[in-house]
Every structure is written in structure tokens, then in C-alpha cells.
Amino acid sequence: MATELLQVEDVSKRFRVRGRTLHAVEKVSFKLSPGKTLGLVGESGSGKSTLGRLALRLLGVDEGRVLFQGRDITQLSNKQLRPLRKDMQMIFQDPQASLNARMTVGRAIEEGLIIHGIGSKSDRKERVYRVLERVGLPFEASYAYPHELSGGQLQRVGIARALAVGPKLVVCDEPVSALDVSIQIQVINLLQELQQELGLAYIFIAHNLAVVEYLSDEIAVLYLGNVVEQAPAEELFKKPSHPYTQTLMKSVLKIPEPGSEEQSLSHIQGEIPSPFSPPSGCSFHPRCPFAEDICKRKKPEPHMVGTGHLVACHLAN
């Protein structure tokens, strides 16, 4: 059996907010092999970013385990995690916000190299030029400040910064949601090329299934912190079995403009329930067109409905 790069086992995360407990991620499990992509989809607040951060151990895990290259990293301190940070990187939705406005692009990329003790000063400069070129930017971009670049160029810088240190796993947290549609496709293509070239594993987060479809080998659909369906990408598109996934599929035909209705999934009936007091039984039941009595009473356990295809729905088979 090939060694998994990442194993997330029954991981849960709760936040205390003004004396109340918010269940952000509930008993989520998945495995990720080198060179593969897991897509995470779900509405705003479903726990995608929290799960991505737990997988990288940027956040402490309340329950469950995270293994990286077979090593249990659940309880490691920040200091113990530091040498692993170059293997596990993150690309954010808003590259402007993740870059220091007073730092040149080259310096921002070099910073990671310095932190991890990679290369001499001249090696680093060379490496910054090379990685900029690889993401489709001229080496002169090294001397630019963030405000001098477009959104698409800034996202390329975000990618360059993550890749400069030579990671094995990259969490891409909605890396294209803020970009124009034509630029989204360019950036997705770039991520795909880089994956093939460098054997990277991705956790690719998006609101919209159309975006994850391009890249994902496997997809997990999150709803209020729970994985409601998880399957190989092709299988999920052939046989979406959870009513929530089926609703997401309706917005699959096109990549939405940033901020458009499709992105907020406002066409799904009903409001997203409060994560402080999730509904009884299946947390999707108040919005589900097929809900029956049992859905209100009993939480559905994930069960297999096809090869590697898990669904947490009483009515799916």
C-alpha cells in the first residue's frame, strides 16, 4: 500500500464564542496521497477553512488525529511543527491581505526561504526569480509592491510564495474566488500544471463544485461541519447521492462571478442553521425537500453507496 501523505482521522474542532460552543468541524476523516487533490466544497461557514487549517496543524485539534507522512502530528507544538512547515503550505483567497503592503514581492517570497534556512543569499535571489517565472511573472515582479499588481498577478505571487519552499502539501483556500472568471481558469490551469510537475498534493477549497471539478481526484461535501458526502470526483458527478450535493450540482455548469448569487448558493431553500444550535437529526433536514420523520430524529451515519462513495443520508442507497 502506498504511504499516504496525509491522514485525517475523526477530527473535530469547536470554538468557544461568548460562552457558547460552536461546532466548526465534526468527526471528519480523509486520506490524501502524494500528487492527488481533495476538493472541499460547501457553503460559507461549513467548516472548509477550519478543516484546511486543522490538516496543516495551523489550528489545534480537539478530537481525532492528523498524520503527515505516517507521523502523528496531532499533539506537536508550534516549535516541533516548524521544520514541517516547509512541507505544508497554504494559498489564501485574498493574496493582497496575505502580503505585507510594505514588502516587495521578492522579499515576501524570500522570507519563507530565510525562515527555513534554504539557500545562500544569491541562491535565494535566483530561486525567487525562477519561481516567479514558473508562475508566469517576469523576474522584475520581484521588485514590485503588492499594490502595483493586479488580482491575478497577486494570486500568482501567493502561489510562488507557497511553492518557493518546496512543499509536498498545499491547502488552496478559495484561491480563485476573488478573481475574474477568465483569470480563474488561468490560475486553476497553473495550479494543475504545477501539481503534475512537482507531484504536489492539494486540498482545494471552494464554494462551488465547478471550480473543484477541474482539479479534484476526490471530493468531500461539507455541511455545518459534517461531511455529508465523499467520493472519487467522477463518481460524485455521476451519482450525487446527498440532497445537498444534488443542490450544489445545480450551480455546477458555470464558474460564478465573484459575489454572484451562485457563489452564495442563495437558491437553496431556507437559511443555513446556526452552528451554535444545529438542527436535531440530520442537520440538513430543515432545508431538504425529501426529509422524512427519521431525518428529524436520528443523525445519519455515513455509509457506502458505491466504491469509495460515502453518504450520510437516511434516504440514500
Ligand X SMILES: Nc1ncnc2c1ncn2[C@@H]1O[C@H](COP(=O)(O)OP(=O)(O)OP(=O)(O)O)[C@@H](O)[C@H]1O
228 contacts 222 by C-beta, under 8 angstroms:
yes
CA distance 239 to 94: 33
CA distance 305 to 233: 14
24 binds, options Mg ion, ligand X, none, Cβ within 5 to 8 A by partner type: ligand X
Which residues form the interface with Mg ion (CB under 5 A)? Answer: 48-49
Shortest distance (Å) from residue 185 CB to ligand X: 21
45 binds, options ligand X, Mg ion, none, Cβ within 5 to 8 A by partner type: ligand X
Q: Is 6 in the site for ligand X (CB under 6 A)?
A: no
215 contacts 285 by C-beta, under 8 angstroms:
no
Shortest distance (Å) from residue 277 CB to ligand X: 12
At 26, phi and psi to the nearest 5? -120, 110
17 binds, options Mg ion, ligand X, none, Cβ within 5 to 8 A by partner type: ligand X
Shortest distance (Å) from residue 130 CB to ligand X: 32
Shortest distance (Å) from residue 313 CB to ligand X: 20
Q: Is 21 in the site for ligand X (CB under 6 A)?
A: no
Of residues 162 through 221, those in contact with ligand X by CB under 6 A are 207
Of the two residues 17 and 114, which places its CB atom closer to ligand X in the complex?
17
Beta bridge partners of 311: 229, 303
Q: Is 294 in the site for ligand X (CB under 6 A)?
A: no
Q: Is 243 in the site for ligand X (CB under 6 A)?
A: no
Q: Is 46 in the site for ligand X (CB under 6 A)?
A: yes
CA distance 234 to 193: 20
Of the two residues 50 and 195, which places its CB atom closer to ligand X in the complex?
50
Q: Binding string, 64-103, against ligand X, x = CB under 6 A?
A: ----------------------------------------
Nearest to 151 by CA among 109, 183, 191, 173: 183
Of the two residues 45 and 112, which places its CB atom closer to ligand X in the complex?
45
CA distance 220 to 236: 9
Shortest distance (Å) from residue 274 CB to ligand X: 9
Which positions touch ligand X (CB under 6 A)? Answer: 15, 17, 22, 24, 42, 44-50, 207, 275
